[in-house]
Every structure is written in structure tokens, then in C-alpha cells.
Amino acid sequence: MRKLLFLILATSLFLYAFDTSDASLRVLAKKNGLKSAPTTYEELKTIAKKAGNPLTIQKINLGRTLFFEPLLSRDETLTCASCHKLSQGGDDNLPTAIGFKKRVNPKHLNSPTVLDASLSKFLFWDGRAKSVEEQAGGPIQAHFEMNLTPEELVVRLKNSVIYQETFKDAFDGIITFKNIEKAIGAYERTLITRGKFDDFLDGDDNAISKKAKKGLVQFIKQGCTKCHYGVTLGGQTIQKFPKFKEAYPFKNIGNFKGKDDKQIIRVPLLRNIIKTEPYYHNGSIKSLFNVIKIEGKANTNKKLKKEQINDIIEFFKTLDGEIVDYGLNG
Ligand code: HEC
Ligand code: HEC
């Protein structure tokens, strides 16, 4: 009997200890700015309203159609989804983007993911846009992307019976470039992913493996969360890169120098990072292992061990997510 009591006591103590360690890891993660992704349409609506683009189902539906609309490009061959493939991590997996008539990005910039991008404070590699709405007009006009003027696009949509109807529903029939940007932005605001990490943060201890938890501890302890934080684990600040070395620690293809040519670069989002290779602004590194090794040296001034890097990769796998079904796809 005493043996049994002892066993019960020991097991519950063990379970208690285990439980608190998961609970305290969760607290530590939150304290360091990591957050889970919104689960409800109501939350999305609040965020969008604050950003000055209140969501309606009609606006989102119009934005979805525009995102996949070849009329947005001069020769009607490209859509937003050509470079931002939703089923492949929201990017194109090319080192640099290829746009109108196979023109490559003049600074050899890599296409970032559109997934979760709406939750960033800074968009583009130099952080020059502050919202998805502000961003959306850029690629339509860039001569190496879709290469169309706002006026030409508005004429094209005004000539379409279908768009006359959908704009009626979404914007009282007013077809302007601003409303096009708003609709695309509204749709992008629904492209939120949730992965196993969100379940862990929201209280499910068993959502992620022990190795992933070790990786999360490393990610925090090594100082990665100083820059990679928020729901998006990035996108919240622009930073001098690299912090601890003068030259780029990788091949400087494209001679991109960031904001004001001062090597100030928007911290990339790490959601779905497993799927968005190749990495860095110019897509020069394919292996995530090598990226983390470089990040250790360049941004935290630490030489990370092989095991630490592999644990962080295991943690990154838990950031892989599915687009949340907010019940809007009609
Ligand atoms: C030819 C490929 C291409 C096309 C077409 C394209 N994009 Fe992009 N997109 C890129 C590249 C490259 C960047 C980064 C450019 C930069 O930083 O200057 C980018 C950046 C973005 C970003 C910023 C993400 C972030 O985290 O900073 C969003 C959002 C985005 N694009 C949405 C769109 C939308 C919406 C469309 C259609 C209207 C579109 N893109 C069309 C290649 C493309
Ligand atoms: C001082 C801010 C800062 C810190 C700290 C930091 N990073 Fe970064 N990280 C950046 C910036 C800026 C870039 C983009 C650099 C570029 O592309 O030129 C980046 C890029 C990355 C990328 C590539 C993302 C992509 O899509 O191309 C990964 C992965 C990454 N960091 C992981 C880490 C890890 C792991 C740590 C901790 C060991 C860390 N970072 C610490 C700022 C930081």
C-alpha cells in the first residue's frame, strides 16, 4: 500500500514537473513576443479595421478574384499567384522573381511569402510598405513584374461585366486603383496560417515534440526573438544586417543595400520557413541549416552547434501551417 502511494505521489510529482516546464516554456515564449495566430473572423475584422480597411465578405471575394486575375498584368500572363503560390508556402521557390517577359528583379530580390504577410508592420525587403493595401499596387506597376499602369487596369476592369457586378457588391460600383488595392489587401488579410506551434502556445503540451521544444528554447536563448517576434516571427522591425559583420556573410548577388542603401533590411517572417527556400533577400542560400549557422554568427554573434541548429530546424517545422478556414470560402 505504501509502495503504491509512493508510486502515485512520484508519478504525479513527475507529471507536475513536466507540466510546469511546458507551461513555463509557454510563458517564456510569450514573454519574448511570440504569439499564436488568430482563430476567428472576428479577430481578423478587428485587425483590418484598425488598419483602415474594414473587411466584408464581398471585398474579400473580389480580392481573391483579383489575386488570381491575369488582367492585372500587361500581357495577361501573370497573376499575383504566379510568384506567390499559396500551396507552396506563398512564394515561388526561385532565387529571384521572374516577371513580365521573363524580366528578373533588377536587385535579384527573392519573392517573400504572402502568407501571414498582413500581420507585418513592414513589408518588402527594405520595409518600404506599411500594409498589404499599400503593398498591393507595387507589383502591378513594376516594369519587371506585371508592368501595367493604374489607369490601364481601371479601364480593363470597367470594361468587364463581371467586375462591374463584383465592384457593385464590394464598393458600391466604384472601380478605382485604391479600391483594387483595398480588395487585394482584404483577401490577403485572410491568408493566415496556423501550425502545431500555435496549438502549443494555446495550451496543448503535446502539439510539438521534445526536440522542437528544445529548439524553441534555443531560438529564445540565442536571442533570435530579439528580431523574429510577433505572430509572424518577423516583419515587425527593420534591422541593420548583418549586425556583427561588415560585409554580407553570403554572396552579394544583386547589390541590394536595403533601406537608404544602409544595409537596413526588413526582418523576414519565419512562418512556413521550411517551404520558402531559397533564403535571404537575394535567395542565395538554399539550406536552412546554413542560414541558421549564418544567423548565429551574423546576428547573435554566436557559433551555434550542429545539435542546436537541428533543434531549431525541428522548431521551425512546427511553424509550418495550413491557411485557417475562417468559413469565408464561398
Ligand atoms: C514577378 C513576380 C511577382 C508578382 C507577379 C507579384 N509579386 Fe509580390 N513580391 C515579389 C517580390 C520579388 C517581392 C519583394 C520585392 C521587394 O522587396 O522589393 C514581393 C513582395 C510582396 C509582398 C510583401 C511580403 C513581405 O513580407 O514583405 C506581398 C504582400 C506581395 N508581394 C503580394 C503580391 C500581390 C498582391 C501581387 C499581385 C498584385 C504580387 N505580389 C505580384 C514578386 C512578385
Ligand atoms: C538583429 C536582428 C536579427 C536577429 C537577432 C536574428 N535575425 Fe534572422 N534575420 C534578420 C534579418 C534582417 C534577415 C534578412 C537578411 C537578408 O535577407 O539580407 C534574417 C534572416 C533570417 C532567415 C532567413 C529568412 C528568409 O526567408 O530568407 C532565417 C531562417 C533566420 N533569420 C533565422 C534566425 C535565427 C535562427 C536567429 C537566431 C540564431 C536569427 N535569425 C536572429 C534579423 C535577425
Ligand index nearest the alpha carbon of residue 120: 1
CA atoms within 13 A on the CB side of 160: 17
Block residue for cell numbers 509557454: 26
Residue nearest to ligand 2 atom 2, measured at CA: 227
User: How far is Cα 225 from Cα 31, in angstroms, rounded to an integer?
Assistant: 10
One-letter amino acid for residue 83 of the chain:
C
Residue nearest to ligand 2 atom 41, measured at CA: 224
Distance 267 CA to ligand 2 centre (A): 6
- CATH numbers and ranges of domains, the chain: 28-38+193-323 (1.10.760.10), 41-188 (1.10.760.10)
Res 14: pLDDT: 55
Distance 139 CA to ligand 2 centre (A): 24
Res 66: pLDDT: 98
> Is 145 an annotated catalytic residue?
yes
CA atoms within 13 A on the CB side of 16: 6
Query: Along the 330 residues of the chain, how does pLDDT read in single tens digits?
Result: 677 666 666 665 555 544 569 999 999 999 999 999 999 999 999 999 999 999 999 999 999 999 999 999 999 999 999 999 999 999 999 999 999 999 999 999 999 999 999 999 999 999 999 999 999 999 999 999 999 999 999 999 999 999 999 999 999 999 999 999 999 999 999 999 999 999 999 999 999 999 999 999 999 999 999 999 999 999 999 999 999 977 889 999 999 999 999 999 999 999 999 999 999 999 999 999 999 999 999 999 999 999 999 999 999 999 999 999 999 865
- Kindly report the pTM of this predicted structure: 0.94
Res 330: pLDDT: 53
Res 75: pLDDT: 97
C-alpha grid cell for residue 270? 519565419
C-alpha grid cell for residue 89? 508556402
Is the Cβ–Cβ distance between 146 and 169 less than 8 Å?
no
Beta-carbon contacts of 306 under 8 Å, excluding residues fewer than 6 positions away, are none
Res 20: pLDDT: 61
User: How far is Cα 163 from Cα 169, in angstroms, rounded to an integer?
Assistant: 10
User: How far is Cα 143 from Cα 73, in angstroms, rounded to an integer?
Assistant: 10
Atom of ligand 1 nearest to the CA of 136: 35
